[in-house]
Amino acid sequence: MITRGSSPPPALKSRRSTQSGMDPPQVVQLLLLGDEKCGKTTFLSRLSAGERTNPIMLLRDMDQPFVFNIDLRDKKYRLEFSDTSSPDNWRLLDPDVIVLCYDISQRLSLINMKRYWVDEVKKTFKRSDTLPIVVLGLKRDLRSEQDPNGIIYPQEAYQMAQSMRVDRYVECSATTGELLRPAFEDICKTATKTTTPAGGQTEGGCAVM
């Protein structure tokens, strides 16, 4: 089950619930990175609004992190998504999971993901070797065989994701809702599975969904 939540009190991560006698949900922080206008904000806005809500009201930057509460394998999680384009902002974060995003209709954004964003992650975060990474292809509805730069087929993007030694490759369209829920659920499963002391990127494996 997935529900949209509100921002937690500062001590939520370490505090035990005194009202219910139960542990609070495990907090997992996810950072979305990728070229400007590749669709990150629209993706999160669609998740927040619902698959059938039109038009989508874009989430405001000031409301970050964007929180989603989920139940997975009989355990509660609080997923906090950050989507910031300012290096001065995202470099200060300490994410548990990185979601590298690219625009399926823009080949340059796929190239930049490998040439620029992966290096930035490695330079910025101390535990980059074990930090779980998911590659998310956005704007799936704009994939076109008429693209002068050549259509980006899922197999090509998946192979690049494999070469980057990430944990998972997913894609969707926030505009049409195509594969939106499966993509989000796979991100959730990867986040909750790999946020362990062993970290992610094990054996360079990459699962495609």
Q: Is the pLDDT of residue 200 over 90?
A: no
Sign for the pseudo-dihedral over CA of 77, 83, 88, 91:
positive
The answer for residues whose C-beta is within 8 angstroms of residue 47's C-beta and 6 or more apart is 4, 68, 174, 180, 184
pLDDT-derived band at 195, boundaries 50, 70, 90: low
Say which residue the tokens 């699962």 belong to.
207
Picking from 64, 152, 144, the residue whose alpha carbon sits closest to that of residue 114 is 152
What was the pLDDT predicted at 72?
Answer: 84
Range of the domain at 65: 2-208
> Which residues 6+ apart lie within 8 Å of 204 measured at CB?
162, 165
Q: How far is 134 from 101, CA to CA, in rounded Å?
A: 8
Confidence at residue 23, expressed as pLDDT on a 0 to 100 scale: 77
| Count of alpha carbons within 13 angstroms of residue 86, beta-carbon side | 5
pLDDT over 70 at 206, yes or no: no
Looking at residue 5, what is its pLDDT?
57
Expressed in percent and rounded to 5, the helix, strand and coil fractions of the chain are 30, 20, 45
Which range, 48-57, 101-110, 124-133, has the best average confidence (pLDDT)? 101-110
**Residue 116, pLDDT above cutoff 80:** yes
| Cα–Cα nearest to 24, from 34, 33, 16 | 16
DSSP 3-state assignment of 186?
A: helix
Q: Residue 65 has what pLDDT?
A: 86
Per-residue pLDDT tens for 43-86? 999 988 876 666 667 777 777 788 999 888 888 999 999 987 66
Stated pTM of the model? 0.79
Question: What's the N-to-C CA distance of the chain in angstroms?
Answer: 19
Domain count, the chain: 1
CATH for 67: 3.40.50.300
On average, the pLDDT of the chain sits at 80
Query: Using 50, 70 and 90 to split pLDDT, how confident is the model at 3?
Result: low
Please say if the pLDDT value at position 125 is more than 80: yes
Task: Please report which helix (H) or strand (E) contains residue 194, including its range.
Answer: helix 180-194
| pLDDT tens per residue across span 146-186 | 766 778 999 999 999 999 999 999 999 999 999 999 999 99
Please report the pLDDT score of residue 128 as a whole number. Answer: 76
Instruction: Name the token pair of 89.
Output: 């902002």
Helices (H), 50-141: 87-90, 107-112, 118-124
